[in-house]
Amino acid sequence: MIIDTTYLLPLSRIGVDTNLLKAIDEGKINIDMSKLAVSSISLFELQAKAAKLGVSTNHTNEAIDVISSMFRVEPFYNKEVVDISFELLKHIPDYIDCIIVATAIAIDEVLITEDTKIIDKRNFLKERYKLHISNYKELVKK
């Protein structure tokens, strides 16, 4: 499973309503943490969000260390990811989101996201790329 950047933000002490990692840790969601992966672009996106919100570099560096050690980090510059992300830009307006979606497609993994621009394209992405998309609420219900 590829998890979107939103779920990484609490690691740098940025609060979100959908704390996926905490829910997994508390047993509310049944996912093996060792099966989770992230796009390397999410590390950049986390840094940018933390800088914008004034999060300390210590918290940001700790988050990056945890992510790097806990999750498989997939490169955003993989040729297949680049090719797919350029195609996706016709349908999803945020290029970073395109990279995250393309990463899930390229490595044939489920994408977990809260991004409504991506979720709104769920049927298209499933039909065109066989991508399965889920979100926090759907996982908690299972």
* Residue 58 banded pLDDT, cuts 50, 70, 90: very high
How many separate domains does the chain show?
Answer: 1
Domain of 102, CATH number, reads: 3.40.50.1010
Which two structure tokens, joined as six digits, stand for 71? 């999750």
**Distance between CA atoms of 83 and 94, rounded to whole angstroms?**
15
Query: Facing residues of 72 across strands?
Result: 37
Q: What is the pLDDT of residues 59-111, one digit of tens each?
A: 999 999 999 999 999 999 999 999 999 999 999 999 999 999 999 999 999 99
Which two structure tokens, joined as six digits, stand for 43? 């590390």
The structure's pTM equals 0.94
pLDDT at site 65: 97
Q: What is the pLDDT of residues 16-57, one digit of tens each?
A: 999 999 999 999 999 998 899 999 999 999 999 999 999 999
pLDDT at site 130: 98
| Residue ranges making up the domain that contains 108 | 2-141
Which two structure tokens, joined as six digits, stand for 108? 């044939």
* Residue 142 banded pLDDT, cuts 50, 70, 90: low
CA angle 140, 33, 16 (to 5 degrees): 55
pLDDT at site 104: 98
